[in-house]
A and B are shown apart, each in its own frame.
Chain A
């Protein structure tokens, strides 16, 4: 426990860093993912093509490569100076853009779980595409999307550690700072692992609760 109690300041700072990456990256991923997911089921061929190109390319790109591009290739292009906030913003963008593809795919497969008859009935009533989606399909898809979406966010939480390789303060990089203070790295990493196991268990518990509350009664 000494490793934690002696360095509470650093543990707090890195935990906050991880949570900022998680929530900001998650928010960006949700917004971008919903847009791309909607593009992929839209009646506009160009939008469908752009959406699937984006999803297929980024899903086949290692997250480390996305981070690499944002941390090393983008700053010289945009003339950015790598200070703390800039690095953090770039890391959030990298996480968001990467996770958005998984969000988009989850939403698309959620829409696919809604029985065809639902959309057909809505159209028979004369609803437009927007109304079919917002009034009939999405409310049902939302429920079946919850469990896989939580899995996406669990993966996002674990992926925040990649930012440690690109000088962004988070739980993955605490090893660096504490080894400078002469702490036992082995113990530090074991504690980081324990924290992540706890956080993931918390999220999977939330997943189960939400799943039970919003289960589709069919």
Chain B
């Protein structure tokens, strides 16, 4: 798209673009250089600051913290998918007494910040006598929020399908459940797959909120490691290492989303899901006219 916005540059534009390019590089290098200078100046590259990462135990702990992050993510993702489907089907229900309350629940859950929900589960509920470990506070809050977002995504997917799809389903004698399960949902899920996976990336990112309610995930360990005076408080190296792990995990999942999206777009060319494609014409116009007029050899077929 962007290539439509401008012409192939002429001599003056080439010079101007080069100057702007150099300015961009200079600004980026200046910002990076400033940080490297500060890192060097405050002694972040000294061996003492990084000695923490020479211990096997530190890496074992980082591995365990990663597992705790992933453990919260996997359960939250599966739960959010299930809740998302249930809420979406409830919101698409033909019964008003089901559709309206579920719609209300979805809207409210989407409007509440995930962190505040975690606070409610971890600090609020003990007041009325319900205690849960921080793990479940993180997981339940993530399920509630991402489940309601996924419900909206799935609902949008179902509603974007042509009406003919459900009408055809009813026409061949399927009931409401059958139309939903066999006709609408498979197409909606297929169309919405990239968005669904993108939402799972959000879920993975939001597990980091567990740090604030003391769930011992990656950031929590980074904070712990950074406050160890014995290891000369390597908060900056810890942030760099743990940050790299987090970003790598999220990039990996985003990569999956992009691959799925590309594959979907490619296969959409050969076989459209939405049924918008014209039925293949196996009969020529001449034959058709002939048939309609009741002429020629098509007479015999009783058209």
A binds B: yes
Which of A3-11, A23-31, A87-95, A156-164 binds B? Answer: A156-164
B residues 279-299 in Cβ contact with A at 8 Å: none
Question: A208 to chain B: closest CB distance in Å?
Answer: 13
B116: A residues at CB distance < 8 A: 161, 172, 189, 192-193, 196
Evaluate whether A69 and B5 lie within 8 angstroms (CB atoms) in the complex, with A60-B251, A64-B211, A189-B124 already known. Answer: no
B residues 76-121 in Cβ contact with A at 8 Å: 108, 110-117, 119-120
Asked if A68 and B211 sit within 8 Å, CB to CB, the answer is yes
User: Does A78 interact with chain B (Cβ within 8 Å)?
Assistant: yes
- Cα of A1 to Cα of B285 in the assembled complex, Å: 76
B239: A residues at CB distance < 8 A: 68-69, 72-73
- Cα of A160 to Cα of B39 in the assembled complex, Å: 29
Listed residue (B39, B44, B247) with the most chain A CB atoms within 10 angstroms of its CB: B247
User: Does B42 interact with chain A (Cβ within 8 Å)?
Assistant: yes
B246: A residues at CB distance < 8 A: 61-62, 65
Chain A residue at smallest Cβ distance from B250: A60
Question: B14 to chain A: closest CB distance in Å?
Answer: 10
Given A65-B246, A172-B115, A196-B111, 15 other A-B contacts at CB below 8 A?
A44-B20, A44-B24, A46-B25, A63-B208, A64-B209, A65-B247, A76-B42, A112-B1, A158-B111, A159-B113, A162-B209, A162-B212, A165-B212, A172-B116, A185-B123
Q: Using a Cβ–Cβ cut-off of 8 Å, how many residues does chain A contribute to the interface with B?
A: 59
Interface of A is mostly: helix
Residues in B lying within 8 Å of A, measured CB to CB? 1-2, 4-7, 9, 13, 17, 20-21, 24-25, 28, 35, 38-39, 42, 44, 108, 110-117, 119-120, 123-125, 127-128, 201, 204-209, 211-212, 219, 222-223, 226, 235-236, 239-240, 242-243, 246-247, 250-251, 254
User: Does A45 interact with chain B (Cβ within 8 Å)?
Assistant: yes
B4: A residues at CB distance < 8 A: 116, 119-120
Asked if A41 and B247 sit within 8 Å, CB to CB, the answer is no
